[in-house]
Amino acid sequence: MNIALIAHDAKKDLMIDFVLAYELLLGKHSLFSTGNTGKRIMEATTLSVKRFQSGPYGGDQQIGAEIANNRMDMVIFLRDPMSSQPHEPDIQALIRLCDVHLIPVATNIATGELLIKGLERGDLEWRHLAKYKK
């Protein structure tokens, strides 16, 4: 599965803790990330991450393009709801694309945990079928 991992600055440490907790599971999948989050993940783990631009420089849009082209299976985007983001329209567009293309998306650690547990159990295997139906 192709999994996007994104985190706002205030949530990057939480993302690192999350990825460290599930490193063995995540290592079985292809990981993608915006620039700084991906860099931090690779520095803290043994995981390989395909990095796009930083979010404010178009990384959210690049991941959105992967979603629109049916090349992403899950998005974990740890957002900071207490801070305004200069690229908020891009963030909303990314989440909208997940809704349009039926991509499971978590915007907080609680939902991220549920998605990872579902991935571990095989609950997201339907994504393989969805890729071929388009």
Residues marked as catalytic = 60
Identify which of 127, 88, 78 has the alpha carbon closest to the alpha carbon of residue 104.
Answer: 127
Residue 79 near residue 8, CB atoms below 8 Å: yes
Residue 73 near residue 119, CB atoms below 8 Å: no
Reading the block at residue 28, the tokens are 């079985």
